[in-house]
């Protein structure tokens, strides 16, 4: 009887521990999944093109529409980078400015204002997003995991 009770307590403890680890994993995965959805246009974003008064339709604001678009003759000399850890964490300079790398806060500033970490304005065709801190952090989490 005592062995059965001990075995039962071990089984309950093991199950509780497994569920606890699964809950922690799900909590950590949630921002990545939200970032994935924002990037691919499965979750709504709000933004506008610089100099335009009206917001763009949410359906066209997924990052992948430009940043993962196939490079063809039709797209010409577009210099839209494919976003991921390799682009965001490698030191680079734009327009003769100082080298910079992105961090979460400078990435969110870029999305909201169009100004990169070197204080250089991005292209006017890059939307300026009305994105809250949680969504921006989720997008950053997804992108820093992308090669």
Higher-confidence residue: 118 or 21? Answer: 118
Using the predicted structure, report yes or no on whether residue 48 has a pLDDT greater than 60: yes
Give the Cα separation of 118 and 14 in Å (integer). Answer: 51
- The yes-or-no verdict on residue 66 having pLDDT over 70 is yes
pLDDT of residue 133: 98
* 84 secondary structure, DSSP code: S
Give residue 72's pLDDT band: very low, low, confident or very high (50, 70, 90). Answer: low
pLDDT of residue 114: 95
Query: What is d(CA 123, CA 79) in angstroms, rounded to the nearest whole number?
Result: 10
B/e letters for 14-37, b = 16+ CB within 10 Å, e = fewer, are eeeeeeeeeeeeeeeeebbebbbb
pLDDT of residue 95: 73
pLDDT of residue 22: 41
Give the residue-averaged pLDDT of 77-86.
82
pTM (2 decimals)?
0.74
Inform me whether the pLDDT recorded for 12 exceeds 60: no
HEC-encoded secondary structure of 11-76 = HHHHHHHHHHHHHHHHHHHHHHHHHHHHHCCCCCCCEECCCCCCCCCHHHCCCHHHHCCCCCHHHC
| Geometric angle at alpha carbon 136, from 135 and 139, rounded to 5° | 85
């Amino acid at each position: 009887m005592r062995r059965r009770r001990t075995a039962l307590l071990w089984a309950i403890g093991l199950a509780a521990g497994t569920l606890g680890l699964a809950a922690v994993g799900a909590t950590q995965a949630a921002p990545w999944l939200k970032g994935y959805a924002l990037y691919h246009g499965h979750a709504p974003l709000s933004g506008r093109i610089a100099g335009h008064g009206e917001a763009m339709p949410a359906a066209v604001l997924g990052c992948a529409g430009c940043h993962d678009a196939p490079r063809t003759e039709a797209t010409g000399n577009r210099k839209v980078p494919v976003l991921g850890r390799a682009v965001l964490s490698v030191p680079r300079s734009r327009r003769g400015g100082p080298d910079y790398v992105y961090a979460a806060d400078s990435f969110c500033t870029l999305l909201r204002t169009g100004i990169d970490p070197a204080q250089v304005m991005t292209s006017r065709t890059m939307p300026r997003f009305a994105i809250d801190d949680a969504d921006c952090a989720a997008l950053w989490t997804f992108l820093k995991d992308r090669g």
